[in-house]
A and B are shown apart, each in its own frame.
Chain A
Amino acid sequence: MSEQRRYKWVGTRQNRPDGADKVTGRARFGADFNLPGELVGKVLRSPHAHAVIKSIDVSKAAALPGVKAVVTGADFPEQPDQLLPAGEMQVNLRDVTRNVMAKEKALYEGHAIAAVAATTAAVAQEALSLIKVDYEVLPHVIDVQEAMKDGAPILHPHMRTDGVKPAPEKASNIAKRLEFNKGDAAAGFGKADIVIEREFTTQPVHQGYIEPHAALASAAEDGQVQLWTTTQGHFQVRGFCCRLLNLETSQLRVTPSEIGGGFGGKTVVYLEPVAIRLSQKAGKPVKMVMSREEVFRASGPTSGGWVKVKMGAKKDGTIVAADITVALQAGAFAGSPVGPSCMCSMACYDVENIHVVGYDVVSNRPKVAAYRAPGAPISAWAVESVVDMVAQELNIDPIDLRLKNAAKQGTKTHYGPTFGVIGMVETLEAAKASPHYKSKVKPGYARGVAAGFWFNVGADSSAAAHVGEDGSVTIISGNPDIGGSRASLALMAAEELGIDYKKVRPIVADTASIGFNFVTGGSRVTFATGLAVVNATRDMIGQLKQRAAKLWEVDVDAVVWEDGEARPSSTNVGKFEPLSLAKLAASASRTGGPINGHAQLNAQGAGPGFGVHIVDLKVDPDTGICTIDRYTAVQDVGTAIHPSYVEGQLQGGAAQGIGWALNEEYIYDAKGRLLNPGFLDYRMPVASDLPMIETVLVEVPNPAHPYGVRGVGEVPIIPPMAAIGSAIARATGVRMVDLPISPPRLSAALDAATPRMAAE
């Protein structure tokens, strides 16, 4: 790419403002907050996958010396059947309160049943063992296809499948059916020379953030509450806690900690309302920290799914029709990301006839939470695998086949909108031109390719810009910084102001110190909050120009802001020495007081993102172990404000996708109890499993953002599974349809394909 520089700061690789604190251990994460006199809170969790809670006797626990409060579901008021946005997903308040603390039923192993606050962890632990719960164990169902069958154990007797006409009378685990139509799929297949049809499955996978959930709550006698927590959205936490506990938002101040990863999983509440309720009852601060085991048993993951794809193409590679069914497991409560899964399924392609049906299905597992591009990786695993099969069958290069069918500006999607400026074609071309794709595949290895699409999100953001007395600048926003967003916000502010990046300090303010901000999710922060920061900075620059005009006694139109100082717009204005930020700050009291800029907005025009991944791998035919030799992620990123952190997003998404493809899965016993609630047996990749992940940043600027920003954080988790599956298919001749492609599973599939070996 030509290195002609459009900007002074945007696009440069500066140190992140939170970097030094993080590498020295000074940064405070969720569990690092403490208050005088705090108690330890712990949760009693259901040992059963599905059971009626007949009674809970907490009297012995409450009487144990050192125990200061006990809560159960009865301590949380009933909630209306009402949907609220949570990150990129919707949640029902009636369900949220039950997920935080079970009421009539335990719906998964690990479901919170009661909680205690005590003077020490040991006392709290002992108190849990003294709580007597009388359960009536019910038959349970774990698998999504099983849960859809007639006669499956029903989780919610009131649940009727939404979106079916006439409305069903019988209770079902299928919460919702959705359907999308473009053209006429049935007729489309008639024009096809080849039709491929396959069924695929994926397992639920956990976001796997290093930092477990943690919260410290302090409820005062006057009703004021303070909360410190690790979250992707402290305004969302405030909203949920206030609804669940009947507080006014002004009564609850939430301060976010630094966050050790979230990936979508920290957009909901688990411990926070419990810690507040315990603190209210105990009259003391209460701190709660999940163990890793609790994280696995009771938080996240994303859905597992079953996807059926039928695709028809002409001999020249034109895809003429696709018919797709997606069933996603939502966990114990309705609300899987089946909507986005259906919408993203064919969004990479400009195809005339598309029919997609989706089902949202409950089963006895933890309620799913958002995970990077929720739902999209599941349908992409199936669709992209079938696209690769079409390429194989027609003997067309997989990138060329995608180029032939690529979505472009003006393509009408099957879910409604027509694309504006997008970069699918540019991304495919960059992939084709990449050093990786141009290289020869090494002997014994095979290459796979897959693509992915994500909408990206805008939504509500607020920001402020303050000039200090010495002319340095603080940028205040309200989004927890997961991926380096403070650095990107500061770069855009420095660019606008024309001052050194190091003179701009970005901070993340608590809920009482800045206006509302929607969660850090949907790849929205650099886009939407970035827009708010740019606007707040421009507001501040407007004021700086006014102050200069006042000092010079000229019209404000006669002042320009350039290179960090106010200058006369032309020699006609008069001869004035430029006024730097420092000079204007020093005279602020005389010119109208402190100089602060503000902005608040609902960001429109989030730019969709497309990615193409390339992988070279080999398969050990005796063991079924895959070794990844080379991996490249290519993506249209709009404009890379901070290229290192954009590359980091691409690499991180690819790493998580590789784990999803090869090893990660939840293993349950016959009673529906999770057998691998830890990183030893829930196998995310370790560093030595991965090659350096190469990246190619394609920049097709988003016209709706002053610097052309598109979200970048979610697209990169979408293509890896199908890229890997396709490479394996090309290496072995066996097309895997079930994830993860773990060594035992691949070994069994290879043996089944070569009966000679299996007969040994």
Chain B
Amino acid sequence: MMEAQYRAPGSVDEAVALMAGAGGKGRVLAGGTDLLVQMRAGMVAPGLIVDVKRIAEMTAISQIAGAWRVGAAVTGAEIHDHAGLKKAWPGVVEAINLIGSKQVQGRASAGGNLCNASPAADSVPALVAAGAIATVQGPNGRREVPVEQIPAGPGKTSLKPGEIVVSFTLPARPAGSGDAYLRLIPRTEMDIAVVGCGVNLTMKDGTCTAARVALGAVAPTVLLVEGAAKALVGSKLDDKAIEAAAAACRAACKPIDDKRGTIVYRTKIAGVLLKRAVAIAAERARSN
């Protein structure tokens, strides 16, 4: 059996070079809460592990002109303790903080959650609803990619060989904005989302002026549900508009029957969570 090599570079450039040199056998290690579990289970056997937690740019949270930049390897625990980010993007923060337990929070990152490419990843619908942009660096330099374009199917991403997600940018937002993320799990903790729903709204004088809605665990990848956003924008978030948005969510679902839920159940719950998440996001928007 081949033993894996371990490197902990201090810069993104170095990390990218190491990945390029590993010839497809390299794996990025952030918190390791997916990667190490998969290695122990014999599902993956990397030749080189590139630990990105010593890279300043990937482990920092900063604000630039109202936008927030969150390093891809920042842990859930650090995000939890960041008052500024929590105030601006409570839905994104609560989604990241739903991952695992206290112990897992001390390690797990949003970058790992996205790149592990589980359809049920909790932070991804919230990031997509937020309109987050990922900064990606690879052998051919840097590019900016909307988060929804990164997952390509269960366990698959659109990242090119050797590419690393460096950070996420959450855009500056107008007053009267709020976001929320809700997931359904059969237990109260330590479970995987049967459905996840992220909602991001801007309200002006009681009318919804902008909306983004994303669903997790109801299709091979996260879904940006534009029909739901359309139903909300221009409305006063009255029952009819919300029911139309819920119907758009149900219509967008392409779930499977599996050990975590049935097609019928997942489809129904997508609508239920949409209504509940809109209520929370709207409440936050009103008080912002």
Contact = CB atoms under 8 A, between A and B. Distances in A.
Interface of A: 122, 126, 622-625, 662-663, 667, 675-676, 680-681, 683, 685-689, 742-744, 747-748, 751, 760
B242 to A, nearest CB: 13
B262 interface: yes
Given A623-B269, A623-B272, A744 B261 contact: yes
Contacts of A624: 265
B282 to A, nearest CB: 18
Q: Which 4 A-B pairs have the closest CB atoms?
A: A744-B265, A688-B188, A667-B259, A122-B1
A686 B272 contact: no
Nearest to B1: A122
Contact of B192 (A680, A687, A688): A680
A681 B194 CA distance: 11
B14 interface: no
30 contacts: A623-B184, A623-B272, A663-B186, A667-B259, A675-B258, A675-B259, A676-B259, A680-B190, A680-B191, A680-B192, A681-B192, A681-B260, A685-B187, A686-B187, A686-B188, A686-B189, A688-B188, A689-B187, A742-B186, A743-B265, A744-B261, A744-B264, A744-B265, A747-B265, A747-B268, A748-B264, A748-B265, A751-B268, A760-B268, A760-B271
B259 A744 contact: no
Given A676-B259, A744-B265, A622 B272 contact: yes
B228 to A, nearest CB: 16
Contact of B186 (A122, A687, A743): A743
B210 to A, nearest CB: 27
A623 B264 CA distance: 12
Contacts of B272: 622-623
A744 B262 contact: yes
A630 to B, nearest CB: 16
Interface in B240-286: 258-262, 264-265, 268-269, 271-272
A50 B125 CA distance: 42
A683 to B, nearest CB: 6
Interface of B is mostly: loop
Contacts of A122: 1
Given A680-B190, A689-B188, A747-B265, 9 more contacts: A675-B258, A680-B192, A683-B187, A686-B189, A686-B190, A688-B189, A689-B187, A742-B186, A748-B262
A743 B188 contact: no
A683 B186 contact: yes
Interface in B183-207: 184, 186-192, 194
Interface residues on B, range: 20 to 34
B186 A625 contact: yes
Contacts of B269: 623
Contacts of B261: 744
A744 B260 CA distance: 9
A686 B101 CA distance: 11
B1 A743 contact: no
A683 B222 CA distance: 25
B256 to A, nearest CB: 12
B5 to A, nearest CB: 17
Contacts of B1: 122, 126
Nearest to A291: B41
Contacts of A683: 186-187, 191
Contacts of A681: 192, 259-260
A676 to B, nearest CB: 5
Interface string B160-190: 0000000000000000000000001011111
B150 to A, nearest CB: 24
Nearest to A126: B1
A126 B42 CA distance: 12
Contacts of B262: 744, 748
A743 B189 contact: no
Contacts of A126: 1
B18 to A, nearest CB: 26
Contacts of A625: 184, 186
B43 to A, nearest CB: 12
B89 to A, nearest CB: 25
A615 to B, nearest CB: 17
Contacts of B189: 686-689
A406 B243 CA distance: 52
A624 B264 CA distance: 13
A625 B191 CA distance: 14
A683 B192 CA distance: 11
B273 to A, nearest CB: 9
Contacts of B264: 744, 748
Nearest to B266: A744
A743 B271 CA distance: 15
B252 to A, nearest CB: 16
A663 B259 contact: no
B164 to A, nearest CB: 28
A675 B268 CA distance: 24
A57 to B, nearest CB: 24
A685 B186 CA distance: 10
A747 B261 CA distance: 11
B217 to A, nearest CB: 13
B187 A663 contact: yes
A624 B190 CA distance: 19
